[in-house]
């Protein structure tokens, strides 16, 4: 059982590391090659790629609070690690959600610490929505999966216990 847990942990650690690496490589290239506000591509009818510096959190909440948001990113990432080590989750749905949330928090945390802002670059065309990045997508996908895990798996476990 311990070896299975360690193998699962290694797999999801690699997934998280890959997401962080892709996120940081893309952001690094944007910083090197693009000017703030520059539109540098599009997927017609879906999104534009535009370089935006975000000093806040989601929807620019807490704009200019880089130190606080950096601390939150670090603490949240550490909380995921502590939860993983302490609870030793066996369910791959839960593991995937935690890996995605962790990767997103680390990716945006690196930006805040290294640059003082988060590099955002994906702008949806079909409705008014804040510009976002790969790390944001990982956090949202992970949060959705975590909610689904709670609804599907955790509640079915509660019913079994009754």
Question: Across the strands, what pairs with 42?
Answer: 48
Asked if pLDDT for residue 161 goes beyond 60, the answer is no
What region does 51 belong to: left with phi over 0, alpha with psi -120 to 50, or beta?
beta
Q: What pTM was estimated for this model as a whole?
A: 0.90
Q: Say which residues have a Cβ less than 8 Å from residue 66's Cβ, sequence separation at least 6.
A: 55, 112, 116, 117
Asked if pLDDT for residue 162 goes beyond 90, the answer is no
The C-alpha atoms of residue 150 and residue 124 are separated, in whole angstroms, by 29
Among 12-16, 133-137, 152-156, 158-162, the minimum mean pLDDT is found in 158-162
Q: Say which residues have a Cβ less than 8 Å from residue 27's Cβ, sequence separation at least 6.
A: 107, 111, 119, 121, 133
Residues with catalytic roles: 120, 136
The C-alpha atoms of residue 53 and residue 44 are separated, in whole angstroms, by 23
- pLDDT tens-digit series, residues 134-157: 999 999 999 999 999 999 987 656
Asked if pLDDT for residue 159 goes beyond 90, the answer is no
- pLDDT tens-digit series, residues 26-67: 999 999 999 999 999 999 999 999 999 999 877 667 777 788
Mean of per-residue pLDDT scores for the chain? 91
SS (H, E, C) the chain: CHHHHHHHHHHHHHHHHHHHHHHHHHHHHHHHHCCCCCEEEEECCCEEEEEEEECCCHHHCCCCCHHHHHHHHHHHHHHHHHHHHHHCCCCHHHHHHHHHHHHHHHHHHHHHHHHCCEEEEEEECCCCCCCECHHHHHHHHHHHHHHHHHHHHHHHHHHHHC
Q: How confident is the model at residue 76 (pLDDT cuts 50, 70, 90)?
A: very high
Mean pLDDT of 96-104: 97
Q: Which residue has the higher pLDDT, 160 or 100?
A: 100
Mean pLDDT of 1-27: 93
Q: According to the model, what pLDDT value does residue 155 have?
A: 67
Q: According to the model, what pLDDT value does residue 14 have?
A: 98
Q: According to the model, what pLDDT value does residue 59 have?
A: 62
Q: According to the model, what pLDDT value does residue 11 have?
A: 95
């Amino acid at each position: 059982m311990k070896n299975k847990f360690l193998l699962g942990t290694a797999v999801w650690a690699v997934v998280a590391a890959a997401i962080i690496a892709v996120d940081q490589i893309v952001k690094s290239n944007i910083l090197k090659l693009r000017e703030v506000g520059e539109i540098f591509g599009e997927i017609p009818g879906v999104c534009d790629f535009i370089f935006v510096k975000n000093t806040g959190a989601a929807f620019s909440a807490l704009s200019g609070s880089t130190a606080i948001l950096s601390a939150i990113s670090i603490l949240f990432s550490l909380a995921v690690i502590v939860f993983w080590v302490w609870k030793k989750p066996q369910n791959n749905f839960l593991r995937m959600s935690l890996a995605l949330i962790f990767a997103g928090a680390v990716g945006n945390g690196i930006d805040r610490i290294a640059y003082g802002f988060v590099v955002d670059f994906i702008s949806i065309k079909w409705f008014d929505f804040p510009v976002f990045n790969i790390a944001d997508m990982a956090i949202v996908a992970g949060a959705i999966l975590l909610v689904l895990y709670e609804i599907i798996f955790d509640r079915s476990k509660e019913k079994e216990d009754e």
